[in-house]
Amino acid sequence: MKKITTSPYIPTEIEIEEIDEKTAKISAYPFESGFAITLAHPLRRLLLSSTVGYAPTALYIEGVSHEFDSVRGMFEDVAHFIINLKNMRFKIKNDENMVELNYSFKGHKEIKGSDLENDLVEVVTPDNYLATLNEDGNLNFTIIVQKGIGYVPSENIREGLKENFIALDAFFTPVRKAVYDIEKILIEDNPNYEKVVFVIETDGQVTPVEAFKNALVVMYDQMSIFNKVLNLNIQPKIEHVDTKELNKLLRKIDELELSVRSFNCLEKANIQYIGELALMSEQELKNLKNLGKKSLEEIKEVMNKEGYPIDQELSADMVKALSEKIQELKSKSSEEKK
């Protein structure tokens, strides 16, 4: 018989596998049936549409008045030059939303992305080809690079440009691939729980994990409008907490391989999670009923091995997130037992 519950199961596990600098696999579970795709689909859309990136938005070439012109001494015409430029992926090094980059090349030269890097921008596609000059070539040009999201056509960029600047279609999105798969997993003899697995690939302007975090923040921010209307206690921003560390602390104490005496003492005190021990001081442990000196030393030794010595202070964000999550899990467990 299906258990009667009053709220959906809240996922507790997340796994992040960084395949390389531009590709990562992010998994979260367990979701109740139907919940994984409910969250995965909008997150995928936000990854592709709302991740901040950088793109060239305007170009000025000395002696050129339009995109169908040509430059003496350059193998490519201006239209081909623009196509190659759009394939360049820049990253502004400071917090500016826009930078103006000036370049000058003379004589025989094959110009690549690495030649465009300077104090203002990093070029994350250093091997991308731009143009070739012959011995008589003399190329002076200016590129405007801006920060943005999504796609902005050149018609929306022309207004306000300096004279003889050519507006460019701007492809800001740094996410090249965002796909997900839903897998069935077994939880407490129930095979209908789900695991969502994202595979995210970027162009190098941001890491896949940064892009995923951004999508989560955008989703929370969009939903925050309901806080104002309905007075909900929903935080619009995700906490600055290492998810891997949080999940490590949310493991059950039976994974610590404590002696039966020590384990029973903690269980009687309703201590179920490793994080509860990490939140306790040595004096609080000593105050536990029937916890002897030998058991205390054993727990201290085991927590040292876990990387969370007793009396070590956790960050304020971690304490808050850990305390709330443990309370939530215990409440959920208590409801299911009723």
Helix and strand counts by DSSP (H, E) for the chain? 10, 14
Q: Where are the domains of the chain?
A: 53-171, 242-338
Q: Where does the pLDDT of residue 240 fall: very low under 50, low under 70, confident under 90, or very high at 90 and above?
A: low
* Angstrom distance (rounded) from CA 81 to CA 69: 11
**Whether 62 contacts 103, CB under 8 Å:** no
Rounded to 5 degrees, what are φ and ψ at 101?
-110, 125
Lowest mean pLDDT among 11-15, 61-65, 294-298: 11-15
Which long-range contacts link 183-187 to residues 24+ away (Cβ below 8 Å)?
Answer: 185/29, 185/30, 187/9, 187/30
CATH tag, 53-171: 2.170.120.12
Give the residue, 320 or 338, on which the prediction is more confident: 320
**Whether 82 contacts 168, CB under 8 Å:** yes
* Angstrom distance (rounded) from CA 180 to CA 196: 7
- Global pTM? 0.66
**Whether 331 contacts 270, CB under 8 Å:** no
Neighbour tally for 298: CB within 10 Å: 18
Tell me the mean pLDDT in the region 114-142. 95
Ranked by mean pLDDT, the top range of 3-12, 99-108, 239-248 is 99-108
Ranked by mean pLDDT, the top range of 13-17, 104-108, 308-312 is 104-108
What's the pLDDT score for residue 226? 81
Tell me the mean pLDDT in the region 111-126. 95
What's the pLDDT score for residue 315? 78
**Whether 253 contacts 271, CB under 8 Å:** yes
Output the average pLDDT for the chain.
Answer: 89
Contacts of 1 (CB under 8 A, 6+ apart): none
Question: Which superfamily is assigned to 242-338 in CATH?
Answer: 5' to 3' exonuclease, C-terminal subdomain (1.10.150.20)
Tell me the mean pLDDT in the region 250-263. 92
**Whether 335 contacts 10, CB under 8 Å:** no
